Structure 1
């Protein structure tokens, strides 16, 4: 039985998504919780159930809407409710939430539609990067999720710079190289606004949407345009950096804590399998 999980987390105290020996990671915490919930029937020892995630976030990056799938034995799924007033999906969600730490919230668990793959079936990932460029608006209660910038930013200049980077292109200049992995991506949106109301009032917030992202790509894009918004760099410098076929050394990677994965999008259920097949055929995926 393939289960679909939707969850959120504060990435501050995690060394990223992917399991790493001796480090606290989101994948490690969730898979440990799954192992305690679904034990090996012959030994009673914690089981091993690997999660496949929509987007592998870096250390310190947060997620408001992360998606993963996990394949569980059918008999374990049938036993999941624990009581008659819960479905197996509700049982899985409640048990996971009761087993994971407070910086992870299990939003939803459900039976995955046929053909669903959390990673390959996704059509878009949407991130937000939050910046506070006014000292009087600095809030210590949100400091772990907002970059405090020492200089005022010109939102129009940020948008002018960001618009030059959108579209289907090679983003090698903004990615950490991985052997055999393509750096071609379709950057659908890279825009900025100064929020006038709501919880982000006064902040300068970037919205970044693409089919998928290379390693550190979003933070590199933000790091590339912030100097333009500050007036320290111009569009000619940005164009020269973006044209490089390897990582641009002059582009700073923006701090991780300002970045949040906000949404993962999927096609209609009938198109999930074909989308996954297309994604696999098109490139070696690196989210």
Structure 2
């Protein structure tokens, strides 16, 4: 049978989602825990890989198994084998043709900026700190130039392995909640470092170093060297993958996360 899971993780201590031989990855721990419960080797497919230090609220994965287990065992049993920074929150049997990656119609990310004069000791690996006051309204206005299917070469990492730079940003919103400035973005797919590169340039607008029109100019330039530096990984959260409603895949809303509780 094929099973889908929703996974939350603090990526601070990991070199991203994908298994790598030279460092500790989230996928390695998830597959080991699932394999123990299933009593046979398990390989998972995720909705969207995350980089070193990036977090996830509802990373969706699927795997195939011949093991017959109560559904709660895939949550409670697996969680007992996982590090404290990784947790399974839901499980759902799915059709054999469901694919966590290819069945998704969009992905959502949130970037969290702690906009205060002094860096927080407690949030240092969960948010990006910016001392200078940010104009969130200007950032939001500038970000609207990103909406639509466009060439995102100016926000593409040099090592990006995607076949082409065209992506469709479906919506983007920058707003302030107290001392937090939040950048929410949804697209059909993302290029490597695309969100962090976008945020790096939006910060220049928010700090008044660049005009609102600059983001549209960067898109038109199709040149990564003209954009700002990549924003830090600590502020980035993979929020969820979006699936057709008929599939019944949960879009988990956590009770308390850093941008609501700080």
TM score, norm. by length of structure 1? 0.80
Matched, 1:8 2:8: yes
Within 2, Cα distance between the matches of 1:270 and 1:125?
16
State the 1:54 CA deviation: 0.6
Who is 2:45 aligned against?
Answer: 52
With 29-38 and 233-242 compared, the bigger mean Cα shift is at 233-242
Who is 2:19 aligned against?
Answer: 19
Who is 1:34 aligned against?
Answer: 34
Within 1, Cα distance between the matches of 2:103 and 2:161?
23
1:155-213, CA deviations, whole angstroms, 9 ceiling, x for partnerless residues? 12101211112111111111124346222111112211111xxxxx3211111111111
Matched, 1:166 2:147: yes
1:132-158, CA deviations, whole angstroms, 9 ceiling, x for partnerless residues? 22226x543222211110211111210
From 94, 118, 121, the counterpart of 1:112: 94
Matched, 1:128 2:128: no
Who is 2:169 aligned against?
Answer: 187
Who is 2:209 aligned against?
Answer: 232
Alignment of 1:211-230 (within 5 A): 211-230=188-207
Who is 2:57 aligned against?
Answer: 64
Within 1, Cα distance between the matches of 2:75 and 2:237?
23
1:68-121, CA deviations, whole angstroms, 9 ceiling, x for partnerless residues? 001112xx1x2x2xxxxxxx2211212210111000011012211353211111
Who is 2:138 aligned against?
Answer: 157
1:250-276, CA deviations, whole angstroms, 9 ceiling, x for partnerless residues? 42110000011122211033699xxxx
Within 2, Cα distance between the matches of 1:206 and 1:164?
14
The change in CA–CA distance for 1:236 and 1:268 in structure 2 (over 3 A counts) is closer
Within 2, Cα distance between the matches of 1:239 and 1:255?
22
**Residues 67, 264 of structure 1: 8 Å contact kept:** yes
Secondary structure (helix, strand or coil) at the match of 2:174 reads strand
- Structure 1, unmatched stretches of 5+, are 41-46, 81-87, 196-200, 273-287
- Structure 2, unmatched stretches of 5+, are 250-262
State the 1:238 CA deviation: 3.2
Question: What is the Cα-based RMSD across aligned positions, in Å?
Answer: 2.0
**Residues 33, 78 of structure 2: 8 Å contact kept:** yes
Secondary structure (helix, strand or coil) at the match of 2:221 reads coil
**Residues 156, 165 of structure 2: 8 Å contact kept:** yes
Aligned residues: 248
4+ long deviations beyond 4 Å: none
**Residues 31, 44 of structure 2: 8 Å contact kept:** yes
